[in-house]
Amino acid sequence: MRFLFIAVVTSLLALASAMQAWAETFDCQHPALPLARLICGDAVLRAADAEENGIYDSATTASLDRASLRAEESAWFAAEILPYNWFVQHAMPINNGEIVDAYHKREDALRRETQLWRKLRHGIPGATLAASCLALPMYPNNGGCSVAAYAPIDGAPSLRYQLQTYSQPAAHNAVILFAATQDQPDTWLPLAVAMSKDASLSAPQATASRFGTLLTIASSGTGNPDGSALYRLTPDALEDIDDRSWLETLRSRLPDGLALSPEIIADYAKMQAVATVTRSQSTCCAVGSRATIDLAIENDRVAVKGVAFDGPSGPPSDQAN
């Protein structure tokens, strides 16, 4: 782990150099949505989409809080771009310039965010981190931030974490992970940030799993992913793992009339999660019975591999990958 700092920087540079300049939101070889066919068929719109995607990739490389950036990008796309699909679908006129402007405004915001995060990527003395909050881009900066904890991480001796809490807004708190810098005693490089707006975050926990050593940051509301974070710790890097989209996948694949409790508790040591059936119109599983979800890590995300129920006549596992 002592070479984590150099390896992280090297991997970031390699990732940046490997970015494709012509990244696109839509699969223009097989455009499914009417909006996709419009954008893929217009050189100006397609170029604007590709440019925004390239800038988003750069922002992802620079950001220490990729979960929030993913959510932010998804919300922007749903609010500013996807509504045009309805107009195309109903053959209504569209001002293509408005779509281009939406892309350009998003690009400007991403560039600003990228610059702010890059300024933060430098070593910081441990004494400073123990006494003062690390000023984070895109977060409350006038809310009376205080350091609730600054300590090593059990199971990951090469890392430290800082837990920040804010008096205004009171519910906000953040966990920042740091790696030791080579040849600079007690100097720490920020690696990742997890932020919660309405739940308390726990101290990071290192967990051994069949997918390697996982570092988890849990939020107080079981089943509330706000602020939760998952990383895979290797000798070379701290890999960000998407620990949120699997919940959406799980709920979208449930049969009609079947619902699970929001309190879904994941055990990454066993790579399983458990939930309670809250609504059922099927004889397969009674309300109140338990669902066991098998999990895996694929392509830097948690994936659902199957669901089994412990009802009176539990059905076979439902593949939901």
Residue type at 183?
Answer: D
Are 35 and 54 in the same domain?
Answer: yes
Q: Is residue 315 situated within a structural domain?
A: no
pLDDT digits (tens, 9 = 90+) for 75-101: 999 999 999 999 999 999 999 999 999
pTM beyond 0.85: no
Last residue of a domain, one of 192, 217, 241: 241
Q: What per-residue confidence (pLDDT) applies to 215?
A: 95
Number of domains in the chain: 3
Q: What per-residue confidence (pLDDT) applies to 141?
A: 67
Q: DSSP string spanning 88-156?
A: HHTT----HHHHHHHHHHHHHHHHHHHHHHHHH-S-EEHHHHHHSPPP-TTS-SSS-EEEEEEEEETTE
Q: What per-residue confidence (pLDDT) applies to 69?
A: 93
Strand 290-298, strand 238-241: pairing: unpaired
Axis-axis angle for helices 66-80, 43-62 (nearest 10): 160
Are 108 and 137 in the same domain?
Answer: no
Are 198 and 292 in the same domain?
Answer: no
Q: Domain range spanning residue 281?
A: 245-309
Share of the chain above pLDDT 90, in %: 55
Q: Is residue 45 situated within a structural domain?
A: yes
Nearest to 202 by CA among 180, 178, 174: 174
Last residue of a domain, one of 120, 148, 173: 120
Q: Is residue 217 situated within a structural domain?
A: yes
Q: Is residue 85 situated within a structural domain?
A: yes
Q: Is residue 56 situated within a structural domain?
A: yes
Lowest mean pLDDT of 37-51, 83-97, 128-142, 173-187, name the range.
Answer: 128-142
Q: Is residue 263 situated within a structural domain?
A: yes
Residues 44, 62: Cα–Cα separation, whole Å: 27
pLDDT digits (tens, 9 = 90+) for 196-251: 887 889 999 999 999 999 999 988 754 455 668 999 998 888 999 999 889 988 88
**Rounded mean pLDDT, 298-319:** 73
- Is pLDDT at 183 greater than 70 in this prediction? yes
Q: Is residue 320 situated within a structural domain?
A: no
Are 150 and 48 in the same domain?
Answer: no
Are 101 and 207 in the same domain?
Answer: no
Q: Is residue 314 situated within a structural domain?
A: no
Are 99 and 36 in the same domain?
Answer: yes
Are 90 and 134 in the same domain?
Answer: no
pLDDT digits (tens, 9 = 90+) for 2-44: 334 333 333 333 333 333 333 467 788 888 889 999 999 999 9
Residues 17, 88: Cα–Cα separation, whole Å: 36
**Rounded mean pLDDT, 162-173:** 85
Q: Which of 97-106, 178-187, 270-279 has the highest mean pLDDT?
A: 97-106
Are 149 and 116 in the same domain?
Answer: no
Are 210 and 261 in the same domain?
Answer: no
Last residue of a domain, one of 78, 98, 120: 120
Q: What per-residue confidence (pLDDT) applies to 14?
A: 33
Token code pair at residue 152: 């090593």
Token code pair at residue 10: 């090297």
Q: What per-residue confidence (pLDDT) applies to 1?
A: 36
